[in-house]
Amino acid sequence: MNRRDFNLLMSVAGAGLLMSDRLATAQTSPTAPDGPVFAMLVHPKMILLDLLGPMTVFNMTRGKVHLVWKNKTPVSTDVGIPVAATTTFQDCPRDVDVFFIPGGLAGSTELMEDAETLAFVKEMAGRAKYVTAVCTGSLVLGAADVLRGKRATTLWNVHDLLSTFGAIPVRDRVVEDGNFITGGGTTAGIDFGLDVVARLKGDEVAKRIQLIIEYDPHPPFDAGSPEKAGPEITNAFLKVRKPAMDEAKAAALRAADRLKG
């Protein structure tokens, strides 16, 4: 895909991201008087699609989307396209409708030991109407000690780490527990986003958004879970990813130990 095609894709997706040589900033939708307010964490080494899937859906509510980080310096993503926050931890509105954390195993591993970010996450989780994450973003919620006793999901290969934080792991694409909503791995972000919008605006609005983005997936392969992919593909993946998974587990255990203290 060339740059022109990629720019067109971003525009059609409605993510509101501006491209130069690479993406350097993110623009957000105008605020409607009664539109919901979203605070979406961005962080180094995040999976860009973890952000863009839900953001595309949220953007269509005609609400206000804030991209939040410690500062407005663009952060790195898995595909090499940097994204800049539109507001900082200090300036971000606190009483938002949705607080959201995207995943990315390397980035989430670092955030689980980032005291400043965890403090911000905990504060936002105590005030947002809905507290949400997809993929390994759920581990960051856990490290901030806000998932204790909550049903939650995350990326399949680190799913067991949720129990480290006292959460109740549930293997499902989207899991709701009160005002906590978590999604599985990257592509679950669209399912998750539609679920959140249904909560905020009703099923009919969510269905219209699903139609607008033509979300009617027909993947060429049925290998989107370990059970469907089979042991050979799954074990090969786990072998390659073992070092990163071990680092994530170690960070989760250290975070859990700090919470006990």
Active site residue 135: yes
Q: Do the beta carbons of residue 39 and residue 93 sit within 8 Å?
A: yes
Residue that has been written with the tokens 């000690």 in this structure: 145
68-98 burial: b if 16+ Cβ within 10 Å, else e: bbeeeebbbbbeebbbbbbeebeebeeebbb
How far apart are alpha carbons 18 and 13 in whole angstroms? 12
Nearest partner of 91 among 108, 61, 66, judged by Cα = 66
108: left (phi over 0), alpha (psi -120 to 50) or beta: alpha
- Can you state the angle between helices 48-59 and 188-201, rounded to 10 degrees? 30
Mapped onto helix, strand or coil, the DSSP state of residue 239 is helix
Q: Do the beta carbons of residue 90 and residue 39 sit within 8 Å?
A: no
End-to-end C-alpha distance for the chain, whole angstroms: 50
Out of 42, 135, 190, 213, which one is annotated catalytic?
A: 135
How far apart are alpha carbons 37 and 58 in whole angstroms? 9
Active site residues: 135
